[in-house]
């Protein structure tokens, strides 16, 4: 009778899935405020917070450091990336480069039906913010905002651009959480910018679409830098 054998090693797809799940747990901890920009944490604290093994965390740390989401500092621990002026400028510069390409592609590829749906979503939120500016509405508005930009980037069908954008989007989300969360004063301007972008794409005017996106990026950057 054979003795019990050790479990077979995980396959490559399974390992990728486990690593991605660990990455998503870290990202969610940033977004829900359990991890804050500039905060110092130990490996032990991260293991407990994220529900990971120490081995899984140590495999994850090089990726997070490479992507600029944290710094591993000898004798001091792990510092979550700080929101400072150079980081804001660099993150928005990257975003502008990505989304200029995305909006030009969208002019060629996005159907009017998709644009109609996006315009309807934005106008509904703008109508609601005038009568019921509730936390639930702003949470929904943030989802509409993220969904719009993700739609444009996905239209490029460029995996390298999409992956790089996703990493930078985490930095942008941290900046928003720290400085420019949607509010009754910010939302109309931001969504007005979106509607101008949608109109330019619908007109199939690449130059107008790029100009509208540039204005939107500069407006968002200025809101972040002024605080």
Q: For 29-87, how does the pLDDT look when each residue is reduced to its tens digit (9 = 90+)? A: 998 889 999 999 999 999 999 999 998 999 999 999 999 899 998 888 999 998 999 99
Same domain, 145 and 215: yes
Structural domain boundaries enclosing 21: 12-80
Same domain, 120 and 218: yes
Asked if the structure places residue 35 within a domain, the reply is yes
Res 5 pLDDT > 60: no
Q: Which of 31, 59, 80 is the last residue of a domain?
A: 80
Asked if the structure places residue 6 within a domain, the reply is no
Longest CA pairwise span in the chain (Å) = 75
**What pLDDT was estimated at residue 13?**
63
Q: In this predicted model, what pLDDT tens digit does every residue of 91-128 receive, in sequence order?
A: 999 999 999 999 999 999 999 999 999 999 999 999 99
Same domain, 90 and 74: no
What is the arithmetic mean of pLDDT over 145-169?
95
Residues written for the chain: 227
Cβ contacts of 84 within 8 Å, gap of 6 or more: none
**Kind of pairing between the strands at 40-41 and 70-73:** unpaired
Q: Which of 27, 60, 80 is the last residue of a domain?
A: 80
The secondary structure of 160-189 as a DSSP string is HHHHHHHHHHHHHHHHHHHH----TTTHHH
Q: How far apart are CA 155 and CA 176, in angstroms?
A: 24
- Tally of domains in the chain: 2
Same domain, 121 and 49: no
Same domain, 74 and 89: no
Asked if the structure places residue 2 within a domain, the reply is no
H/E segment holding residue 67: none
Stronger pLDDT, 197 or 8, i.e. the higher one: 197
Neighbour-count burial of 131, counting CB atoms closer than 10 A to its CB (0-12 exposed, 13-18 middle, 19+ buried):
exposed
Q: How far apart are CA 107 and CA 147, in angstroms?
A: 17
Is residue 124 within 8 A of residue 170, CB to CB? The reply is no
Is residue 88 within 8 A of residue 176, CB to CB? The reply is no
Same domain, 107 and 217: yes
Q: How far apart are CA 40 and CA 73, in angstroms?
A: 9
Instruction: Look up the CATH number of the domain holding residue 20.
Output: 1.10.10.10
Asked if the structure places residue 174 within a domain, the reply is yes
**What pLDDT was estimated at residue 176?**
82
């Amino acid at each position: 009778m054979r003795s019990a054998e050790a479990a077979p090693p995980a396959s490559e797809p399974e390992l990728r899935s486990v690593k991605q799940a660990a990455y998503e747990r870290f990202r969610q901890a940033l977004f829900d405020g359990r991890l804050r920009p500039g905060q110092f944490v130990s490996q032990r604290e991260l293991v407990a917070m994220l529900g990971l093994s120490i081995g899984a965390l140590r495999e994850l740390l090089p990726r997070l450091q490479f992507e600029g989401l944290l710094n591993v500092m000898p004798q001091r621990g792990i510092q979550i990336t700080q929101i400072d002026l150079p980081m804001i400028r660099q993150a928005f510069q990257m975003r502008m480069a990505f989304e200029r390409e995305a909006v030009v592609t969208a002019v060629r590829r996005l159907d009017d039906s998709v644009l109609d749906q996006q315009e309807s979503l934005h106008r509904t939120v703008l109508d609601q913010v005038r009568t019921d500016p509730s936390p639930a509405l702003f949470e929904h508005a943030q989802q509409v905002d993220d969904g719009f930009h993700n739609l444009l980037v996905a239209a490029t069908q460029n995996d390298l651009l999409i992956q790089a954008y996703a990493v930078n989007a985490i930095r942008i989300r941290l900046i928003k959480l720290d400085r420019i969360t949607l509010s009754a004063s910010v939302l109309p301007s931001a969504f007005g910018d979106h509607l101008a972008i949608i109109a330019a794409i619908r007109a199939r005017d690449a130059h107008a679409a790029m100009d509208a996106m540039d204005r939107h990026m500069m407006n968002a950057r200025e809101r972040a830098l002024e605080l």
